[in-house]
Structure formats: C-alpha cells, structure tokens
Amino acid sequence: MPGPRPAPPRPAPPRPAAARAAGTVPGPRPASGSGSAARPKSPTVRLLPAAPQDALGCADDVVDELLEAGRRPGDVLVLTVGEAHPWQQHELSFGEERYWAQLAEAADVFYADAAAVRQVRREVVVLVVNASGTNRAGSAAVRAAELAGSLLVVCGGTEAVAALFPGAERPVPA
C-alpha cells in the first residue's frame, strides 16, 4: 500500500558572492565542492586593539563591515566578555525563551555573553573584550574560535589573547 513519499531535500540557500572588503574584515569565502563545504580546521583570526570602553563600538563597526561585505546577519555571533551589548539587553527584555530562540533561528546577528552562549557555530564570531583586568578573555577567545567557522575577530583586550593566536592578522598602523 503506497504511503506518503519523502520530500526531496531542500537546496541550501544561495550565498552572496560579494567581493572582499578593503577594510578590516574579509568578505565571504566561496563554497567548495558540492553539498557540504569543507570547514577550515581553524578560523582566520583578526585582532583589533581597542580600550575596553571602546570595544563595543569597534565590534559594531566590524559587524557593519561584515554585513556591507555581503555576510548574512544570521552568520554573525557577537560575544561579550564584560558588560552585555545594548542589543542583547534589549532582546532579553522580551524574555529568555524568545531570546534563545533567536540564536537557533539564525535570522539575525546574535549577541550574547561569552560565558553563556550555547553550542551553535556561526561563520563569523566577533569577540568583544570590553572589561579590563579580567582573566575570562583567554578562555572566551578559545571558545569563540571553536564556534567560528571561517573568521574570529577580537575587539579590545587583544593583548590578553594574542599569545593564543600567534598567526593572527593585525591592522597595519597608518
């Protein structure tokens, strides 16, 4: 007796083929092969020094550059080591359940505390070290690198994590 047939697999959404940005953040990498793209063993790491009070602004600039370069908002995760990002505070005002559902939906940039984020990979992770004198930066950077698919950008407090990523890219002084 015939029953319902399984639906054909849904194709992956198309990825933008934006050119690499000339700023501090590279554009999307082209997918290789068919079906599933091979993930690099470790992401490209960019260290952007900033004072703790300026780290959130630096991260906001990075997110803007990523989106302008063609990254999908759902590909970006912003983690803070110090005070929560204002957008995270806003989203939490609607309740914990709705807030964490947004992480799973991956429709927009997601903001979270570096220690509280759940196990969800994103192509790009922006780590905001916006607290001075904290020993959380190193462990947060290692965790952020595990969650990043192709790019990890550390904003502020880079001296605390530089030794962890000896091959990290640094801005060229003007």
In the chain, which residues have pLDDT < 50?
1-40
CA angle 43, 169, 65 (to 5 degrees): 80
Range of the domain at 107: 44-162
Question: Looking at the domain assignment, is residue 167 inside a domain?
Answer: no
Q: What is the pLDDT of residue 35?
A: 40
Distance CA 171, CA 174 (A): 9
Question: Looking at the domain assignment, is residue 171 inside a domain?
Answer: no
* Model confidence, pTM: 0.76
Question: Looking at the domain assignment, is residue 129 inside a domain?
Answer: yes
Tokens of 90: 């806003």
Q: What is the pLDDT of residue 21?
A: 34
Q: What is the pLDDT of residue 116?
A: 81
Tokens of 63: 């997110």
Question: Looking at the domain assignment, is residue 34 inside a domain?
Answer: no
Q: Are 46 and 24 in contact (CB under 8 A)?
A: yes
Question: Looking at the domain assignment, is residue 88 inside a domain?
Answer: yes
Question: Looking at the domain assignment, is residue 69 inside a domain?
Answer: yes
Question: Looking at the domain assignment, is residue 80 inside a domain?
Answer: yes
Which residue intervals of 24-166 are DSSP H helices?
Answer: 55-68, 86-92, 96-105, 136-147
Q: What is the pLDDT of residue 134?
A: 63
The CATH number covering residue 112 comes to 3.40.50.300
Q: What is the pLDDT of residue 81?
A: 93
Angstrom CA distances, 2 to 5, 6, 9, 57, 84, stand at 8, 12, 20, 60, 55
Question: Looking at the domain assignment, is residue 1 inside a domain?
Answer: no
Q: Put residue 8 in one of left, alpha, beta given phi > 0 → left and psi -120 to 50 → alpha.
A: beta
Indicate the number of domains in the chain. 1
Distance CA 144, CA 115 (A): 10
Q: Find all residues with CB under 8 Å of 155, minimum gap 6, and list them.
A: 48, 50, 55, 56, 58, 59, 62, 126, 127, 128, 129
Q: What is the pLDDT of residue 160?
A: 79
